[in-house]
Amino acid sequence: MAKKPDEIAKALGVSITTVRLVLGGKAEKYRISKATQARIREYVEEHGVKFDLTARSLKLKRTNTFGLIIPRLANPFFAKLSEELEHRCRETGYQLIISCSNSDEETEKELASGLVQRNVDGLFVVSSTSDSQQHLGKTISKPMVFLDRDYGNTDAPIITSSNFEGAKDLAAAIAKHADGEPVYFLIGGSNQPTITERARGYLEVMPQNTEKDWTLQSARNRTQDGEQMMLELWEKLGKAPQNLMVSSLPVLEGALAVLREKLGHIPPQLRLATFDDNKMLSFLPNEIWSVKQNEAEWAEAALEAMTQTMSSEKAHSKTIATRLIHRPKDQ
Amino acid sequence: MAKKPDEIAKALGVSITTVRLVLGGKAEKYRISKATQARIREYVEEHGVKFDLTARSLKLKRTNTFGLIIPRLANPFFAKLSEELEHRCRETGYQLIISCSNSDEETEKELASGLVQRNVDGLFVVSSTSDSQQHLGKTISKPMVFLDRDYGNTDAPIITSSNFEGAKDLAAAIAKHADGEPVYFLIGGSNQPTITERARGYLEVMPQNTEKDWTLQSARNRTQDGEQMMLELWEKLGKAPQNLMVSSLPVLEGALAVLREKLGHIPPQLRLATFDDNKMLSFLPNEIWSVKQNEAEWAEAALEAMTQTMSSEKAHSKTIATRLIHRPKDQ
DNA sequence: TTGAAAGCGCTAACAT
DNA sequence: ATGTTAGCGCTTTCAA
């Protein structure tokens, strides 16, 4: 069982300070004798040590802890991002504390103030609304880095994916193979900045859209929103579309579920384009393009921005490039 | 900006103790005058308070914090479980700290001792190996609850899914529709107790298997393991199987990727059975059965076991029932 | 009805 | 080359 410093000191007949100096790597600086060092290290080798980080934190006013607030861990993108960020934080000597706001403004505020009371050294936040981002920016006097959602109302650094460029690439890719047929775009969560950027990218490469509106919108981006939008589209067309772009995977799930219900199957000649990549997209026989976000690079950029903010450097916001992935149609 | 208790005291001309008593809900007990209470509350209403939980923890030797060690957040099951557990912990007044071991024994030990140094009040662990579980059981003198993996070498409570029963149901379902054809089983991670239970369930309802071996095994359960096992099976059969059961989703992804490469498509008449459920399974045109685990119930059971262990009650291990889901073949 | 004081385990500056 | 001490902000007990 790990011994506490005072126990070690007593057992070896030296002072607590000596033990701490040696174990804290300050032995050379204070020129503790080699002999004493050896005795202490040997004892520790055998019994182990147990430092109390709580007391250390109280003294140093620093917990070596960061908070991360995301909407949901059930969202694979946020889960992967959290994993990468947790890993990098740990490498840098920080423990990451992950909490889910469930996209609720109130919960988000409560989480933030809870983490502040726990004296985290900094806060990463995927903010659910413009208001809450603004509120946090004003209320929290800790280093902060915002992730994913840029509402344009904070001075803190923001890490985002290149949603606009990604959307342009995605839309261009599917349009090129669309044989002039419309490329409908189901937009879920149209009030989120992430999503409006994607919509903007789509419009940029779809000039045809200005005459006839090929987009459908929904306030949120859950499976049921995808269902609802596809029902609307079906109503309008009286049949399945030939080309479909969606703003996120849950929307795709909903949209395809409706087609399967209407037709008994997902039409294999339907061309698809979606944000977020997932291995299970290969389950579809369809030709499909997807936009993959780079979570590892995100985590790196986020941590760098945090480090800069903590050393009161001016941290720059950063946009992470996405990658277009193409899966050809089955034979 | 939130004020600290001493600032409030100074501003109102009362002692720090008085402020703390009122804000700590002990006003009645110490009979602080209504007037003073009102003044303090009013001040707080306007300016906010900021308590330092670190100092509180040091004094009370209790951090209101639990640790959770899982292999990976990128695994959707663990992500969902973490989300549910975090939510329930928060409701109970605890902050959950999630860390990923990446299925590495050393990392797992380091994480555990790191969390102990941070004085978590209890530890939830999905242990990667029998050794590490045993090691933690001996080393850590904190309330512990193990999750998912039962290596049978600890006294601590363990929460698992009903893998055996789930596998029986799953195997029986696909066997019933197999027209007497073999139901091959790709087993990834065959040294994990979770997986051996699943294998045991399969064997229980596949007496035919005793003559001819319909199972293939791999040490781990990643996509590439699924690929490798399917390659082996293809080698053996010279064609695609008609019925396929797999021990987890990554294995399924790998197996289907191989079939698509061999055939140019995933054969739609192939019957599938898999552990873990996911909405994207509906992307497949195939008839498919899946076993869904109940993460919410897991979280509840885990927290209950933790609460019991902390109040030195004998906590009981618990098995959480799974649910069989059937998706019919496309028309 | 309110205030003062000790002590949790640590760090850092200062003594020996 | 080693030891002593003040104080971080909180809770708890005792004093006024």
CB contact under 8 A, B73 and A72: no
Q: Report pLDDT for A28.
A: 65
Using one digit for the tens of pLDDT, what is the confidence trace for A288-308? 999 999 999 999 999 999 999
- Rounded Cα distance between B1 and A160, Å, is 29
Question: In which residue are the tokens 């941590």 written?
Answer: A303
CB burial readout A201-210, b (16+ within 10 A) else e? bbbebbeebe
> Is B35 at the interface with chain A, CB within 8 A?
no
Q: How confident is the model at residue A208 (pLDDT cuts 50, 70, 90)?
A: low
Q: Rounded to the nearest 5°, which phi and psi values hold at B48?
A: 85, 160
Pairing of strands B95-100, B158-161: unpaired
Q: Report pLDDT for A6.
A: 80
Tokens of B261: 């490469």
Q: How confident is the model at residue A12 (pLDDT cuts 50, 70, 90)?
A: confident
pLDDT at B256 over 90: yes
Average pLDDT over residues A306-328: 95
Q: How far is A164 from chain B (nearest CA, A)?
A: 26
Tokens of B275: 């552990």
CB contact under 8 A, B281 and A281: no
CA distances from B187 to B168, B174, B184 (A): 15, 16, 10
Average pLDDT over residues A31-51: 82
Tokens of A235: 């109503």
> Is A73 at the interface with chain B, CB within 8 A?
yes
Question: In which residue are the tokens 């701490």 written?
Answer: A20
Q: Which of B162, B196, B103 is nearest to B293 (CA)?
A: B162
Q: Quickly give B20 CA vs D3 C1' distance in Å.
A: 37
Pairing of strands A65-70, A95-100: parallel
If you write DSSP's letter for every residue of A238-287 in order, what string do you get?
Answer: SS--SEEEESSHHHHHHHHHHHHHHHSS--TT-EEEEES--GGGGGS-S-
Q: Taking CB atoms and an 8 Å cutoff, what residues of chain A touch B114?
A: 95
> Is A100 at the interface with chain B, CB within 8 A?
yes
Element (H, E) at B184: strand B184-188
Q: How confident is the model at residue A209 (pLDDT cuts 50, 70, 90)?
A: low
Element (H, E) at B112: helix B105-117
Q: Quickly give A28 CA vs C7 C1' distance in Å.
A: 32
Q: How confident is the model at residue A33 (pLDDT cuts 50, 70, 90)?
A: confident
Using one digit for the tens of pLDDT, what is the confidence trace for B109-163? 999 999 999 999 999 999 999 999 999 999 999 999 999 999 999 999 999 999 9
Q: Taking CB atoms and an 8 Å cutoff, what residues of chain B touch A1?
A: 141
Using one digit for the tens of pLDDT, what is the confidence trace for B185-198? 999 999 899 999 99
Q: Report pLDDT for B5.
A: 81
Using one digit for the tens of pLDDT, what is the confidence trace for A68-124? 999 999 999 999 999 999 999 999 999 999 999 999 999 999 999 999 999 999 999
Torsion of CA A93, A99, A101, A102, to 10 degrees: 120
Q: Which of B66, B124, B63 is nearest to B96 (CA)?
A: B66
Contact B139, B161 (CB under 8 A): no
Q: How far is B73 from chain A (nearest CA, A)?
A: 6
Q: How confident is the model at residue B35 (pLDDT cuts 50, 70, 90)?
A: confident
Q: Report pLDDT for A14.
A: 82
Contact A184, A209 (CB under 8 A): no
Q: Report pLDDT for A35.
A: 80
If you write DSSP's letter for every residue of A145-212 in order, what string do you get?
Answer: EEES---S--SS-EEEE-HHHHHHHHHHHHHHTSTT---EEEEESTTSHHHHHHHHHHHHH-GGGGTS
Best of B50, B54, B80 to substitute, by most chain A Cβ atoms within 10 angstroms, is B54
- Rounded Cα distance between A6 and A40, Å, is 12
Q: How far is B326 from chain A (nearest CA, A)?
A: 15
Q: How confident is the model at residue A29 (pLDDT cuts 50, 70, 90)?
A: low
CB contact under 8 A, B280 and A282: no
Q: How confident is the model at residue B281 (pLDDT cuts 50, 70, 90)?
A: very high
Q: Quickly give B196 CA vs C10 C1' distance in Å.
A: 48
Q: Report pLDDT for B188.
A: 96
pLDDT, mean over chain B: 93
Q: Taking CB atoms and an 8 Å cutoff, what residues of chain B touch A72?
A: 83
Q: Quickly give A307 CA vs D4 C1' distance in Å.
A: 36
Between A41 and B87, residue with greater pLDDT: B87
Q: Rounded to the nearest 5°, which phi and psi values hold at A311?
A: -90, 25
pLDDT at B100 over 80: yes
- Rounded Cα distance between B152 and B129, Å, is 11
Q: Quickly give B152 CA vs C5 C1' distance in Å.
A: 51
Best of A23, A75, A82, A83 to substitute, by most chain B Cβ atoms within 10 angstroms, is A83
Give just the sign of the alpha carbon dihedral B6, B8, B12, B18: negative
- Rounded Cα distance between B267 and B286, Å, is 8
Q: How far is A326 from chain B (nearest CA, A)?
A: 15
Q: How confident is the model at residue A211 (pLDDT cuts 50, 70, 90)?
A: low
Contact B54, B60 (CB under 8 A): no
pLDDT at B212 over 80: no
Q: Report pLDDT for A144.
A: 97
pLDDT, mean over chain A: 93
Residue nearest to nucleotide C8 (CA to C1'): B59
Q: Which of B62, B129, B121 is nearest to B97 (CA)?
A: B121
- Rounded Cα distance between A141 and B30, Å, is 34
Tokens of B112: 């555990």
Average pLDDT over residues B75-86: 97
Q: How confident is the model at residue B202 (pLDDT cuts 50, 70, 90)?
A: very high
Closest Cβ opposite residue B283 in set A63, A74, A284: A284
Residues of chain B with pLDDT > 90: what percent? 78
- Rounded Cα distance between A50 and A55, Å, is 12
Hey, how many other C-beta atoms are within 10 angstroms of the C-beta on A330? 16
pLDDT winner (highest mean) among A4-13, A47-56, A224-233? A224-233
Q: Taking CB atoms and an 8 Å cutoff, what residues of chain A touch B97?
A: 95, 97
Q: Report pLDDT for A42.
A: 85
pLDDT at A210 over 70: no
Average pLDDT over residues B271-289: 97
Q: Taking CB atoms and an 8 Å cutoff, what residues of chain A touch B266?
A: 283, 285, 330
- Closest nucleotide to A30 by C1' from CA: D1
pLDDT at A226 over 80: yes
> Is A35 at the interface with chain B, CB within 8 A?
no
CA distances from A213 to A208, A229, A238, B112 (A): 9, 14, 16, 56
- Rounded Cα distance between A135 and A137, Å, is 5
Tokens of A60: 């140093």
Q: Taking CB atoms and an 8 Å cutoff, what residues of chain B touch A260?
A: 282, 330
Q: Taking CB atoms and an 8 Å cutoff, what residues of chain A touch B285?
A: 265-266, 285
The residue type found at A102 is: N
Closest Cβ opposite residue A54 in set B50, B57, B141: B57
- Closest nucleotide to B31 by C1' from CA: C1
Hey, how many other C-beta atoms are within 10 angstroms of the C-beta on A59? 10
Rg of chain B taking only CA atoms, in angstroms: 26
Bases of strand C lying below 7 A from some protein CB:
1-5, 7-13
Residue nearest to nucleotide D6 (CA to C1'): A59
- Closest nucleotide to B24 by C1' from CA: D11
Number of cross-chain residue pairs from A and B with Cβ atoms under 8 Å apart? 136
